[in-house]
Amino acid sequence: MTKQYSKAIIYTTLSSAAAAACVLANQSCVKAKAAGIQQKPLNIVYIMTDDHTAQMMSCYDKRFANTPNLDRIANDGVRFTNSFVANSLSGPSRACMLTGKHSHKNGFTDNTTCVFDSSQPTFPKYLQEAGYQTALFGKWHLESLPQGFDRWEIVPGQGDYYNPDFIVESGDTVQVHGYLTDLITDKSLDWLENERDKSKPFCLLIHHKAIHRNWLADTAHLTLFEDKVFELPENYYDDYSGRKAAAEQEMSIIEDMDLIYDLKMNRADKDSRLKARYESYVGRMDSAQRAAWDAFYDPITEDFYARNMTGKELAEWKYQRYMRDYLKVVKSLDDNVGRVLDYLEAHDMLDNTLVVYTSDQGFYMGEHGWFDKRFMYEESFHTPLIMHLPAGMDRRGDIDQMVQNIDYGPTFLDLAGVEVPEDMQGVSLVPLLKGENPEDWREALYYHFYEYPAEHSVKRHYGVRDGRYKLIHFYNDIDEWELYDLANDPTEMHNLYGQEGTDSVTSVMMAKLKDLQEQYDDPIRFTFPIK
C-alpha cells in the first residue's frame, strides 16, 4: 500500500466518529416528502467526466466531435447553455458538487494541500437518510476515502487508463485488467443489475477519469480521426496583450505540452521532463495492448523526428495530435454513456430516472494557445450540463439561466423529496426543469481559484460574471484586474479594465463582486472601493 492510500485510510478512520455525529446532527433538516417517492420513486444517475469541454460535444458544438449518445440525453431532455463551475480544478470541483458549497466552505480549495473532510454533510448522505441506496464508481480525487455511499470503488489519485488500480471498501488496492472507461461502466452496470436492492430508489455516481490528460485511447480506437484536420482557434497565437496573468501561465500547447508524455513521441534516444511518466503508463499495458500501441505510434514517431519541425509547423502539428488523441478518448466515453442509457431503457427505468451528464470543468482546446483549465475564462469556467428528465417533467430544449455546480446537490435532494439544508450555498434547479422562469433567479456567478504556486502557474484569482460582463482579480503575488464585455468580446482578448468609458460598468461589477463575496462569506476579499 502506498503512502497516498495510507493517508486516505488514516484520515477516514479518524473522521468516522465525526461522520456519525454529523448524520445525527443533520437529521432534523432532512425530511422526506411523501409525494414523489412512493409508488415509483425517482432514481438518479449522475455521470461526470474530467476535463470534457462543451466544444467537444456535438450537442453543443458540431465543429469537432460526434457524440451520439450524449446527444441522446440532450435531445430527449434539456441542455444548459450557461452552466459553470465554482473552481475550475478536479478535486475542488468535486467537493463543490458533493457539498453544494464553494471551496472556502467545504475546505477543499486545491489539489496540492487539501484533504477532503469526508465526515461533512454531502448530498449522498442526505439521500441515504431518506432511504436511498448510494453508489460511486471511478474517480474520487479528494485524498480521503468516500463516505455516504453504500457501495464504492475508486481509482487512486488521477487513476490509470490501462489496467488500472481500484481502491475497494476494505482499503485494499486491486489491479483490474482492461480500459478504465469500460471498467467503470462495467462496475456501475453490475451494481445496478446484481448488487442493489431493487425495491429501493438509488443514486449512482459514475465518475470517469476520461478525458483527463494525457488522453490515452482504448487501443481499439488508436487509428480513429487520423485523417481529420482541425481548424486552429482564431486566438491560437494569442500574445496576451494587456493580460499579465494570462501571459505568465505554463499551459501552452506550443511551449509546455510534452512531446513524449502528452503526444507519445517516445524514442530511446530522446528525453523530456515527463518521460518517466510516459514509461509508467505504457508499463501497465499487457503484451497485446503494447503491440497495438507500438504498431500505431512507432511510424508516427519516426516520421515526426525525421521531419525535424520547428516554429509554426511544429506548433500546429502539436495541436492536430492533441485534438486527435482527445477525440479518441471522447469516443470511448460516449460509447459507455450509450451502454448506461441502453441498460436503463432495456429495464424500463428511464421514466423514473434522472440522468445527468457533466464534467468537473471545461478545458482549452487550443483557445489562447492552451490546454488545461484553471482560469475563469469561458472555456474552463463553463462546463457542459445535460439532463434526461423523468416522466412528468416535460421541459425540453435549452435552459439559459446561469447555473453552477454547487446547484447539483440541492437539485438532487429537491427532486428526491428531501429538504435542502440551509447551509448549502447552491440552489435547486427544479423550477427551471419544470419550465418556470423565476424572477429572482441569480443574475451573477462567483468564482475563486486557489492553486498557486503549482503546476501550470495560473495565478490565484476570484471574479464575478453576469449576463454580459466578467470582472476578475488576480491576487497573491500579483495585483491585476481584468474586465471583459462578453457580448462584444466572447473570446476575452481585450481587457477593458481601466480604459476610458468603463468606470460605470466597473463600479457595477465591483458591487456585484462585493455582494457575492459577502453572500458566500468568502474570507479572501478585496477592499471596496478600489482606489
DSSP string for 108-150: ---TTT----TTS--HHHHHHHTT-EEEEEEE--SSS---S-S
Structural domain includes residue 39: no
166 strand-pairing partners: 174
For residues 194 and 309, membership in a common domain is answered with no
Sequence-distant (6+) residues with CB within 8 A of 319 are 230, 232, 236, 253, 366
For residues 422 and 469, membership in a common domain is answered with no
For residues 50 and 189, membership in a common domain is answered with yes
Task: Find how far residue 78's CA is from the centre of its chain.
Answer: 19
211's grid cell = 478525458
Query: From its phi and psi, is residue 131 left (phi > 0), alpha (psi between -120 and 50) or beta?
Result: left
pLDDT at residue 526, as a whole number: 87
Structural domain includes residue 40: no
Rounded (10°) CA dihedral 158, 48, 406, 214:
40
Assign 409 to helix, strand or coil.
helix
Structural domain includes residue 271: yes
* Distances, alpha carbon 98 to alpha carbons 95, 404, 531, in Å: 5, 13, 38
For residues 367 and 511, membership in a common domain is answered with no
186's grid cell = 462495467
Structural domain includes residue 388: yes
**153 vs 138: CA distance, rounded Å:** 6
Q: What is the number of domains present in the chain?
A: 3
CATH number, residue 394 = 3.40.720.10
For residues 204 and 226, membership in a common domain is answered with no
For residues 268 and 175, membership in a common domain is answered with no
For residues 50 and 95, membership in a common domain is answered with yes
Question: Among the three residues 322, 349, 364, which one is the final residue of a domain in this structure?
Answer: 322
CATH number, residue 504 = 3.30.1120.10
pLDDT at residue 29, as a whole number: 34
Per-residue pLDDT tens, the chain, 531 aa: give them: 333 333 333 333 333 333 333 333 333 333 333 333 334 689 999 999 999 999 999 999 999 999 999 999 999 999 999 999 999 999 999 999 999 999 999 999 999 999 999 999 999 999 999 999 999 999 999 999 999 999 999 999 999 999 999 999 999 999 999 999 999 999 999 999 999 999 999 999 999 999 999 999 999 999 999 999 999 999 999 999 999 999 999 999 999 999 999 999 999 999 999 999 999 999 999 999 999 999 999 999 999 999 999 999 999 999 999 999 999 999 999 999 999 999 999 999 999 999 999 999 999 999 999 999 999 999 999 999 999 999 999 899 999 999 999 999 999 999 999 999 999 999 999 999 999 999 999 999 999 999 999 999 999 999 999 999 999 999 999 999 999 999 999 999 999 999 999 999 999 999 999 999 999 999 999 886 554
**369 vs 374: CA distance, rounded Å:** 14
pLDDT at residue 28, as a whole number: 30
Question: Among the three residues 383, 400, 434, which one is the final residue of a domain in this structure?
Answer: 434
Global pTM reads 0.93
Assign 43 to helix, strand or coil.
strand
Structural domain includes residue 38: no
Sign, CA torsion 391/397/401/407? positive
Sequence-distant (6+) residues with CB within 8 A of 425 are 100, 101, 102, 105, 406, 520
For residues 225 and 163, membership in a common domain is answered with no
Structural domain includes residue 32: no
Matching residue, cell 508516427 = 300
For residues 65 and 167, membership in a common domain is answered with yes
Residue 528: DSSP 8-state: S
Instruction: Specify the DSSP element, H or E, that contains 155.
Output: strand 151-155
Q: For 173-180, which contacts have Cβ atoms below 8 Å and span 24 or more sequence positions?
A: 173/1, 173/2, 173/5, 177/286, 179/218, 179/219, 179/332, 180/155, 180/208, 180/209, 180/210
Structural domain includes residue 524: no
**255 vs 247: CA distance, rounded Å:** 12
For residues 191 and 113, membership in a common domain is answered with yes
- Rg from Cα positions in the chain: 23
449 strand-pairing partners: 461
Rounded (10°) CA dihedral 175, 181, 186, 188:
100
Residue 483: DSSP 8-state: E
**198 vs 133: CA distance, rounded Å:** 10
Question: Among the three residues 322, 350, 376, which one is the final residue of a domain in this structure?
Answer: 322
**184 vs 154: CA distance, rounded Å:** 9
303's grid cell = 516520421
279's grid cell = 514509461
Domain limits for position 165: 3-26+45-215+329-434
pLDDT at residue 527, as a whole number: 80
Structural domain includes residue 205: yes
55's grid cell = 466544444
* Distances, alpha carbon 123 to alpha carbons 44, 99, 244, in Å: 12, 6, 39
**42 vs 374: CA distance, rounded Å:** 35
For residues 97 and 225, membership in a common domain is answered with no
For residues 21 and 159, membership in a common domain is answered with yes
